[in-house]
Amino acid sequence: MAKYALYVSLKAKPGKESEVEAFLKQGAEMSKKEKGTVAWFGLKEEEGHYSVFDTFDDEAGRDAHLNGEIAKALMAKAEELFAESPKIHKIAIVANK
């Protein structure tokens, strides 16, 4: 059971929404190569607002993800795509189905 998660809030710059969605789709593909990432979701919350929610069995998997290729790509594209810096929240999963 996954016990750890990340929630990343993303606000697209006006006119960059399609690029953000393409980036999220690329991130989903990249996450398939991460052994410690149990689940990875790219979400559209409302117009211009996106997020990523991913889960991990342990902190080592989460730390590997935070230091991995997706995180590097996110930071490299942040200024170009986002109106504000991505907000990364470390979360503990208390219950799930």
Query: Could you read off the pLDDT of 39-97 as tens digits, one per residue?
Result: 999 999 999 999 999 999 999 999 999 999 999 999 999 999 999 999 999 999 999 98
Q: Which residues contact 44 (CB under 8 A, 6 or more apart)?
A: 21, 50
Name the pTM for this structure.
0.92
Residue 53 maps to a domain: yes
Structural domain count, the chain: 1
The token pair at 11 is 């606000």
Query: Is 15 within the bounds of a domain?
Result: yes
Q: What is the pLDDT of residues 7-49, one digit of tens each?
A: 999 999 999 999 999 999 999 999 999 999 999 999 999 999 9
Cα distances from 53 to residues 15, 22, 37, 65, in angstroms, run 23, 16, 11, 12
- Does some domain include residue 88? yes
CB atoms within 10 A of CB 7: 15
- Is 97 part of a structural domain of the chain? no
> Domain for residue 74, yes or no?
yes
CATH no. for residue 41?
A: 3.30.70.100
Owning domain of residue 29:
4-92
Specify if 87 maps to a domain.
Answer: yes
